[in-house]
């Protein structure tokens, strides 16, 4: 078999089980693809020795005949996940040189299932960004281009390296994390599938914290079936994360029947934004037609507080970040600033954090500090948490009225050029997450499915939002949408 | 509410991030852009609405108060920028 790196998880699993291919062959194919793709800057720490060692072990296990689905499948891990003995620095200078003595629960579960880690993937610093331009490693680059224009495009963010690597077939799939859209937006930008599960499905233990009430891990894959397979391995209760849910994890793949007859799909009118490109409007209505043709009932719904989700998010997320990132003080791990004669501990903190945090991270930590400070806590932070209650109630009301899933665009635009937003004010960049951030605030599962190309030949995605803990049904609806949309486009290799 | 340079300096101090004086005007202006965006929240009627504490209404799990981990000083110190004699070392804090 040639081009083994181009396989998806399910295809590769079936080929491994049939004895048509070995994990070592799959892994070597990916490692070569990674070495050839330095122009994408997706993999920032390569771990070929670990990969080949795990691949050999996986091949032995597969021979034994009782290997789990992920066994032997080469994947990339976002740099936000702590991986034992391997640099894990959340794309930040402040964690330069940090090699954890422990493994995150999610990456451990993947390893226990036999998955092969190829290396660590680029991202926005501390997952704060929507274009992978805040990384200490430099920009991750999308494998996609606008026709023959050789301008470099963003793979989205914060899981930009994961998106670029999966779309360019450097790995079979990758882990991502999603605090305001960081799995779904990059997945949409590069034409792959990404799911953020219900808050509490995946353990957050060992994942560098950004905003703890919003962060969730999830898979970024080449199709919906692969997302079902990988998500199942990533989920599950963990006593080391007190917010992880003690719920059984279903066999998500077995729920992919494609039968969505009688399902009620809500179309929220508030997601029809002023200035939304006509192409995205059309993609959305085409998506609704596809689900209708598959037997679903399309229902117009209202989520009245949608408009306030982004401003609420930009209070709550920075507030939690300012608290979480207080731990980076130059004492226990990472990089300490060079101190001048006579500098005391306060100078050590201030210089370490000024030199170690990038501009966007500093900005968010300070905004968070401000909204939590005495005199402003009620006006900003408590008000935002009240609005969050209302946003969640919007969803509860439509689900109580019988809606099974909600269809929206994944992003307000296709991918844009790296550097194109540099001059814009920060709020313009934040608008990338306008359709995804509501889902994090309400703790719901959301999936981005590639559904078409724009006039410049760039991928566009649709988002489906499900009921809490209903990832199985959500994946099945996404599967029906994927089958109907028939998205097969791949970027032309230029790297 | 508008942030002036002295407020920006105070916030930077609270956040323990060194900001040079000549960077304060730009920083204050960025804060004002973001806070201007956040001001929209004032349009929402939140009378009687509880602030969300936890997105899924579940009680945090309890466990026995007992030691479950420990005896790994070398691992705890392995990533410290300055570790000496089994301790994290920092500049002098008391005279």
* Chain B residues within an 8 Å CB radius of A351: 18
For the four alpha carbons of A365, A367, A370 and A371, in that order, the dihedral sign comes to negative
Look up A158 and say whether it is catalytic.
Answer: yes
B73-B74-B77-B79 Cα dihedral, nearest 10 degrees: -150
Residue B82 falls within a domain, yes or no?
no
Look up A182 and say whether it is catalytic.
Answer: yes
Looking at every residue in chain A, the average pLDDT score rounds to 97
Interface of B with A in 12-51 (CB under 8 A): 12, 14-19, 27, 30-31, 33-35, 37-44, 46, 49-51
Q: Are A228 and A447 in contact (CB under 8 A)?
A: no
Which residue of A99, A354, A441 is in closest CB contact with B17? A354
Residue A284 CA to residue A409 CA, distance in Å, equals: 6
- Answer whether residue A12 shows pLDDT above 90: yes
Confidence at residue A422, expressed as pLDDT on a 0 to 100 scale = 84
Confidence at residue A1, expressed as pLDDT on a 0 to 100 scale = 60
Considering only alpha carbons, which residue of chain B is nearest residue A341? B91
Is the minimum CB–CB distance between A385 and chain B shorter than 8 Å? yes
Interface of A with B in 309-338 (CB under 8 A): 310-312, 314-315, 322, 326, 329-336
Question: Which residue in this structure is represented by tokens 């995804």?
Answer: A436
Residues 6+ apart with CB under 8 A from A146: A153, A456, A457, A458
Measure in Å the smallest separation between the Cα of A283 and chain B Cα atoms.
29
Q: Which pLDDT tens digit goes with each residue over A315-362?
A: 999 999 999 999 999 999 999 999 999 999 999 999 999 999 999 999
Disruptive mutation site among A369, A380, A396 for chain B (greatest number of B CBs within 10 Å):
A369
Q: How far apart are the first and last CA of chain B?
A: 41
Considering only alpha carbons, which residue of chain A is nearest residue B53? A385
Confidence at residue B61, expressed as pLDDT on a 0 to 100 scale = 78
Inspect the interface and report whether the beta carbons of B17 and A310 lie closer than 8 Å. no
Inspect the interface and report whether the beta carbons of A101 and B79 lie closer than 8 Å. yes
pLDDT tier, A314 (very low <50, low <70, confident <90, very high otherwise): very high
Confidence at residue A161, expressed as pLDDT on a 0 to 100 scale = 98
As a whole number, mean pLDDT of residues A175-188 equals 98
**DSSP-assigned beta bridge partners for residue A299:** A266
Inspect the interface and report whether the beta carbons of A243 and B60 lie closer than 8 Å. yes
Residue B84 falls within a domain, yes or no?
no
Q: Is A470 helix (H, G, I), strand (E, B) or coil?
A: coil
Residue A145 CA to residue A302 CA, distance in Å, equals: 36
pLDDT tier, B13 (very low <50, low <70, confident <90, very high otherwise): very high
Answer yes or no: is the ipTM higher than 0.90: yes
Inspect the interface and report whether the beta carbons of A392 and B11 lie closer than 8 Å. no
Which residue of A242, A344, A367 is in closest CB contact with B34? A367
Catalytic, out of A78, A196, A222, A263: A78
- Residue B25's domain comprises 5-41
Confidence at residue A336, expressed as pLDDT on a 0 to 100 scale = 97
Confidence at residue A21, expressed as pLDDT on a 0 to 100 scale = 98
Interface of B with A in 61-80 (CB under 8 A): 61, 63, 72, 75-76, 78-80
Element (H, E) at A369: helix A359-372
* Chain B residues within an 8 Å CB radius of A343: 91
Instruction: Check residue B29 and report its DSSP letter.
Output: H
Q: Tokens representing A344? A: 């005391």
Confidence at residue A442, expressed as pLDDT on a 0 to 100 scale = 98
Measure in Å the smallest separation between the Cα of A364 and chain B Cα atoms.
9
Looking at every residue in chain B, the average pLDDT score rounds to 93
Residue A414 CA to residue A410 CA, distance in Å, equals: 10
Q: How many CA atoms lie within 13 A of A460 on its CB side?
A: 22
Number of folded domains that form chain B? 1
pLDDT tier, B56 (very low <50, low <70, confident <90, very high otherwise): confident
Measure in Å the smallest separation between the Cα of A365 and chain B Cα atoms.
7
Q: How far is CA A25 from CA A100, A132, A162, A226, in A?
A: 29, 31, 22, 20
Closest CA to B92 of A466, A342, A79: A342
Which residue of B40, B79, B91 is in closest CB contact with A333? B79
Closest CA to A76 of A38, A49, A107, A102: A107
- Domain locations along chain A: 4-260+415-420+450-461+470-485
Element (H, E) at A268: strand A264-268
Residue B35 falls within a domain, yes or no?
yes
Residue B57 falls within a domain, yes or no?
no
Residue B15 falls within a domain, yes or no?
yes
Residue B19 falls within a domain, yes or no?
yes
Confidence at residue A217, expressed as pLDDT on a 0 to 100 scale = 98
Strands A216-221 and A264-268: unpaired
* Chain B residues within an 8 Å CB radius of A198: 56
Measure in Å the smallest separation between the Cα of B57 and chain A Cα atoms.
10
Least confident of A40-49, A75-84, A457-466, B47-56: B47-56
pLDDT tier, A429 (very low <50, low <70, confident <90, very high otherwise): confident
Residue B48 CA to residue A280 CA, distance in Å, equals: 38
Considering only alpha carbons, which residue of chain A is nearest residue B73? A101
Interface of A with B in 181-240 (CB under 8 A): 198-200, 213, 239
CB burial string A56-91: b at 16+ within 10 A, e below: bbbbebbeeeebebbbbbbbbbbbbbbbbebbbbbb
Confidence at residue A398, expressed as pLDDT on a 0 to 100 scale = 98
For the A4-260+415-420+450-461+470-485 domain, the top CATH level (class) is: alpha beta
Considering only alpha carbons, which residue of chain A is nearest residue B34? A427
Q: Tokens representing A495? A: 């790297």
pLDDT tier, A66 (very low <50, low <70, confident <90, very high otherwise): confident
Disruptive mutation site among A332, A339, A340, A360 for chain B (greatest number of B CBs within 10 Å):
A332
Other CB atoms within a 10 A radius of the CB of residue A428 amount to 11
Residue B63 falls within a domain, yes or no?
no
Residue B16 falls within a domain, yes or no?
yes
Catalytic, out of A23, A135, A158, A203: A158
Interface of A with B in 52-111 (CB under 8 A): 97-101
Look up A130 and say whether it is catalytic.
Answer: no
Is the minimum CB–CB distance between B9 and chain A shorter than 8 Å? no
As a whole number, mean pLDDT of residues A12-20 equals 97
- Answer whether residue A3 shows pLDDT above 90: yes
């Amino acid at each position: 078999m040639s081009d083994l790196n181009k396989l998806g998880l399910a295809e590769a699993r079936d080929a491994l089980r049939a004895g048509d291919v070995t994990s070592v062959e799959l892994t070597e194919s990916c490692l070569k693809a990674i070495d050839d793709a330095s122009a994408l800057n997706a993999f920032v720490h390569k771990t070929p020795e670990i990969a080949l060692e795990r691949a050999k072990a996986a091949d032995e296990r597969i021979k034994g005949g009782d290997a789990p689905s992920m066994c032997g499948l080469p994947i990339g891990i976002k740099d936000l996940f702590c991986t034992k003995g391997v640099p894990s620095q959340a794309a930040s200078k402040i964690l330069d040189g940090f090699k954890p003595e422990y493994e995150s629960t999610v990456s451990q579960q993947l390893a226990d299932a036999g998955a092969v880690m190829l290396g660590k993937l680029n991202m926005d610093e501390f997952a704060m960004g929507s274009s992978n331009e805040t990384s200490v490693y430099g920009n991750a680059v999308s494998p996609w281009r606008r026709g023959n224009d050789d301008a470099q495009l963003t793979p989205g963010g914060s899981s930009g390296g994961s998106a670029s690597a999966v779309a360019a077939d450097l790995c079979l799939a990758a882990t991502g994390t999603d605090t305001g859209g960081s799995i779904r937006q990059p997945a949409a930008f590069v034409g792959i599938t990404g799911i953020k599960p219900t808050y509490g499905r995946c353990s957050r233990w060992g994942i560098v914290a950004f905003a703890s009430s919003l962060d969730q891990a999830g898979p970024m894959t080449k199709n919906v079936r692969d997302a079902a397979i990988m998500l199942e391995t990533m989920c599950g209760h963990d006593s080391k994360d007190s917010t992880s849910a003690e719920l059984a994890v279903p066999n998500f793949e077995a729920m992919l029947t494609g039968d969505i007859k009688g399902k009620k799909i809500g179309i929220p009118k508030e997601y029809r934004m002023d200035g939304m490109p006509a192409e995205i409007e059309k993609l959305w209505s085409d998506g609704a037609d596809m689900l209708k043709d598959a037997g679903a009932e399309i229902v117009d719904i209202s989520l009245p507080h949608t408009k306030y989700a982004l401003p609420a998010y930009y209070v709550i997320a920075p507030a939690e970040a300012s608290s979480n990132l207080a731990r980076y003080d130059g004492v226990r791990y990472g990089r300490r600033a060079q101190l001048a004669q006579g500098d005391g501990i306060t100078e050590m903190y201030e210089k370490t954090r000024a030199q170690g945090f990038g501009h966007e991270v500093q900005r968010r930590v300070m905004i968070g500090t401000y909204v939590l400070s005495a005199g402003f806590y009620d006006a900003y932070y408590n008000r935002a948490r009240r609005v969050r209650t209302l946003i969640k109630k919007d969803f509860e009301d439509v689900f109580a009225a019988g809606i099974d899933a909600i269809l929206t665009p994944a992003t307000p635009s296709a991918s844009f050029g790296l550097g194109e937003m540099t001059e814009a004010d920060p709020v313009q960049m934040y608008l990338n997450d306008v359709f995804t951030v509501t889902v994090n605030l309400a703790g719901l599962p959301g999936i981005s499915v590639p559904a078409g190309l724009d006039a410049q030949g760039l991928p566009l995605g649709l988002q489906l939002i499900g009921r809490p803990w209903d990832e199985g049904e959500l994946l099945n609806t996404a599967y029906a949408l994927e089958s109907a949309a028939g998205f097969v486009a791949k970027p032309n290799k230029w790297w | 509410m508008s942030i002036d340079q002295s407020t920006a300096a105070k916030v930077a101090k609270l956040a323990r991030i060194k900001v040079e004086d000549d960077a304060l005007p730009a920083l204050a202006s960025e804060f004002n852009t973001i806070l201007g965006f956040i001001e929209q929240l004032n349009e929402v009627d939140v009378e009687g609405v509880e602030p969300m504490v936890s997105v899924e209404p579940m009680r945090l799990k309890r466990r026995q108060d007992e030691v479950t981990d420990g005896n790994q000083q070398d691992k705890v110190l392995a990533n410290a920028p300055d570790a000496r004699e089994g301790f994290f070392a920092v500049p002098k804090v008391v005279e």
